[in-house]
Amino acid sequence: MKILVAVKRVIDHNVKVRVKADGSGVELANVKMAINPFDEIAVEEAVRLKESGKATEVIAVSVGDISYQETLRSAMAIGADRAILIQRPAELALEPLDIARLLQQIVDKEQVDLILLGKQAIDDDCNQTGQMLSALLDYPQATFASQIKIDCGTLQVTREIDGGLETLEMPLPAVVTTDLRLNEPRYATLPNIMKAKKKPLDIIDIADMNFSPLGQVKTLKVSEPKKRVGQCTLLSSATALVSELQAKEVI
Amino acid sequence: MNQTSVLVIVEHDNQTIKSSTYHNITAAHEILAAGGELHLFVAGSQTASVAQLAASIKGVNKVLEIQSDELEGQLAEPITSAIVAVAKGYTHLLFPATTFGKNIAPRVAATLGVAQISDITQVIDSQTFIRPIYAGNALATVQNNGQQVVITVRSSAFSGAKETQNSAQIENVTLAQLPQRALLKSQSLTQVSRAELSSAKVVISGGRGLSSGENFALLETIADKLGAAVGASRAAVDAGYVPNDYQVGQTGKIVAPDLYIAVGISGAIQHVAGMKESKVIVAINSDPDAPIFQVADYGIVGDLFEILPEFDKALA
């Protein structure tokens, strides 16, 4: 069984983002970048499935500029066998549906049985790509997975839903998106980081693919959210707090 | 562009309509500010009472009802097929940004070949919306240029529409067999007698500082007195103190109650993303340097195990 894992390069989740003064976006120059945390969980899960003998090959894929090679190398340091970069110009803005259409072409070419993606990227917070890819492929989908089991070609996924948890069963091939509680990704060790440098990384130029961007949603501007007014009033006791809250009529 | 017409996908449990739908209807009215039709879409295995309820909501022009055994469990594949079958002619398809809506909306959008805009918090006009990005640390103003768009709406950003004596027409839609690609094996729902987290007026949340699941009883006692819902930080969920659906934050639920009380929560970016739109924020923490105090309106620095019983007593 082959597994395809889609990974995205995003601002490291610990970085406090700064909105550009001209409203064109957030400051990305000289900011620490990292593999999207949900995607890291997806890679870890794929590697665990390989280690348990359920999968034979794990392929990491990304759509991005040349700097994304580093992100794919981190996926291979976790244990992905090889990687594919769909290289696009840095300034080309793509929507989740564009990414899904590009990934669909890779799935068709590689004939994978399971596609793992993070449930959302922590930059655009869209939570769309996995579901869209699943729709284009007409595969069953299991989003927000906190547990994955594979038995005799059947996939069992426990999903995190608003009221609790639910378990779905579906045939392969399928698309699964990962939630935070699926696993704890391992640290890439130095020998594995060195080994990852030697693993194959294919680069496909987006211009050589059968693709034109959707261009349906345009970002007009990016702005700072409203700051909370005032400062924190420190109180000395819960009794004082209760009277303040009663005065504000919130309790 | 055709005349604006909005289809709101109703989230329900085959008996009642979830509060998220009422917030969606308010967003729909804002999109329809310049006129147009508002239709509701009810799909499930038992839809009669839900459709009746939907038809009674103010400003609804029509309810589309699709009842089918294949919609038991409301899985993404059959629901998508049902929605796509009726989607033609609507300029906007609205889903709540709940796990229900987030699961289905992108599948519908991709099947229709149109874009999806996630988690809108403000309607500027029928084609322009504001949505938070980077865990709410930036706001993007986005414009739709297509003929049709799929949108998910952040419930906490819109008030809830009220039911009235409206009686919209209910149209029963029958469809050929819907695709069954996955099977619902089991569901384990957390039983809560308290207010629902995403729509509660008051939320009291606990973090790692609570030290154990048993200590959440301290929050529950206070929650019951305030009619509040109980939430948690990711740290408290990961430590196993409470189930995952209690989680407030970028990856959990986004809430905006009148009062949010954070107890033993440091205030990581990801948690603050889920509660910073609350009207009044109270922080109770032993660490005076905890980032939660930067967003709080009122704070008490001290031992929560002393402060909570005192708080409880002061409420009596």
Long-range contacts from A10-13, C-beta under 8 angstroms, 24+ separation: A10/A34, A10/A35, A10/A36, A10/A121, A10/A122, A10/A123, A11/A122, A11/A123, A11/B134, A13/A37, A13/A122, A13/B269, A13/B270
Span B107-121, average pLDDT = 98
Cα–Cα distance between B44 and B51 in angstroms, integer?
A: 10
Nearest to B197 by CA among B137, B274, B120, B265: B274
Of A165, A168, A216, the CB nearest to B183: A168
Q: Residue A28 corresponds to which tokens in the numbers above? A: 């990305």
CB proximity A162 to B under 8 Å: yes
Contact B146 A166 (CB under 8 A): no
Regarding beta strands B183-189 and B169-172, do their DSSP bridges make them parallel or antiparallel, or are they unpaired? unpaired
Contact B299 A239 (CB under 8 A): no
CB proximity B244 to A under 8 Å: yes
Whether a cis peptide bond, with omega within 30° of 0, leads into A173 is yes
The partner residues of A168 in beta bridges, in order of sequence, read: A157, B184
Contact B103 A233 (CB under 8 A): no
Per-residue model confidence (pLDDT) at position A153? 87
Residues of chain A with pLDDT under 70: 230
The partner residues of B150 in beta bridges, in order of sequence, read: B93, B116
What is the distance in angstroms between the Cα of B42 and the nearest Cα belonging to chain A? 19
pLDDT above 70: residue B110: yes
Contact A162 B299 (CB under 8 A): no
Residue of B nearest to A219 (CA): B142
Pick A19 or B316 by higher pLDDT: A19
What tens digit of pLDDT does each residue of B142-169 get?
A: 999 999 999 999 999 999 988 778 999 9
pLDDT above 90: residue B261: yes
To probe the interface with A, which of B79, B102, B155, B270 has the most A CB atoms within 10 Å?
B102
Q: Which residues in chain B have Cβ-Cβ distances shorter than 8 Å to A141? A: 76-77, 103, 107, 182
Contact B185 A221 (CB under 8 A): no
Per-residue model confidence (pLDDT) at position A93? 87
Per-residue model confidence (pLDDT) at position B138? 97
- Band (B2; pLDDT cuts 50, 70, 90): low
What is the distance in angstroms between the Cα of B164 and the nearest Cα belonging to chain A? 27
Cα–Cα distance between B30 and B37 in angstroms, integer?
A: 12
Secondary structure tally for chain B: helices H, strands E = 9, 16
The partner residues of B26 in beta bridges, in order of sequence, read: none
Residue of A nearest to B308 (CA): A238
For B153, the enclosing helix (H) or strand (E) is: strand B149-153
Residue pairs between chains A and B whose CB atoms are closer than 8 Å: 252
Interface TM-score (ipTM) > 0.90: yes
CB B151, CB B92: distance < 8 Å? yes
Span B173-179, average pLDDT = 92
